[in-house]
Amino acid sequence: MSPSEGELEEINAGFRGAHPRDIIRFACERFGDALAVSSSFGAESACLLSLAVSVRPDIPVIFIDTGFLFPETLAFRDELKRRLKLNILEVGPAMGHAEFLARHGRLYETDPDRCCEINKVEPLKRALKGLRCWISGVRADQTAYRGAMRYLERKGEDFFKVSPLLSWGAREVVRHIRDEGLPMHPLWERGYTSIGCEPCTSVPGDPSDPRSGRWKGKNKTECGIHTFLDKK
Ligand code: SF4
């Protein structure tokens, strides 16, 4: 049964200070098999993934291969898949990458929102169809938009988003990864603290803002996968 608005408030209040594993456990108990976790296999993705499989080893992991990812990201995906025995559900844009480039060229330069819509948001929408819950690794300290998020949010009539890492910072995340004996993304050692598609990712210019290397020089901080449900 869907939680009422009052119950949502109570649940979110109860999650304050809870360990992310307990929040994932709640989601698995509440939503059964109708849930999935998403991962970009970015800098710190091993954290959420290791927590998720510790609760449900075969939890589906939605991974969007945009066609623009670093080869290191694909290698990192393969390594984590092997080490954590991940059940990866890989999705991609409806249009093949070569056709996309032929038709749109460097759309990521001229209209990055449209590029993200085609290559990230639309594939995610397809992957979420039929589910009741999406677990994501966003953190409140990453962007102003994320700072206003809650652990459990209604995003449709009977669709919910759960963000177990919301109150963790980079320090807790990295500590958890180290404690689990898992790797960071290979580019992390080279200064990439937030990693997405290759054309839109660089080493952050502002060390105090780990995401400042994303869409550098553009008025864009979100690709759209965490905001599209708000626009519905
Ligand atoms: S992050 Fe860049 S390359 Fe990737 S989908 Fe968005 S605009 Fe396109």
pLDDT tens-digit profile of 20-60?
A: 999 999 999 999 999 999 999 999 999 999 999 999 999 99
User: What DSSP state is assigned to residue 67?
Assistant: S
Structure tokens at 211: 């995401």
Structural domain span for residue 29: 5-231
Backbone angles phi, psi at 170, to 5 degrees: -55, -35
Amino acid at position 182, single letter: L
Contact 213, 201 (CB under 8 A): yes
CA of 84 to the centre of ligand 1 (A): 27
CA of 167 to the centre of ligand 1 (A): 27
Is residue 64 within 6 Å of ligand 1 at its C-beta? no
Q: Please name the residue whose Cα sits nearest to atom 5 of ligand 1.
A: 116
Per-residue confidence band for 224, with pLDDT thresholds at 50, 70 and 90? confident
Predicted local distance difference test score (pLDDT) of residue 143: 84
Number of domains in the chain: 1
Tokens 């519905």 belong to 232
Give how far Cα 21 sits from Cα of 12, 48, 113, Å.
15, 9, 33
Q: What is the CATH number of the domain that holds 59?
A: 3.40.50.620
Mean pLDDT, the chain, integer: 94
First to last CA, the chain: 22
Is residue 223 within 6 Å of ligand 1 at its C-beta? yes
pLDDT tens for 214-223 read: 888 888 888 8
- Say whether pLDDT at 17 is over 80: yes
Residue 11 burial (CB count, 10 A): 17
User: What count of Cα atoms within 13 Å lies in the side-chain half-sphere of residue 224?
Assistant: 18
Please tell me whether residue 183 adopts helix, strand or coil conformation.
coil
pTM, two decimals, is: 0.94
pLDDT tens for 184-196 read: 999 999 999 999 9
User: Is 223 one of the catalytic residues?
Assistant: yes
pLDDT tens for 164-188 read: 999 999 999 999 999 999 999 999 9
CA of 22 to the centre of ligand 1 (A): 33
Q: Rounded distance, CA 193 to CA 206, Å?
A: 11
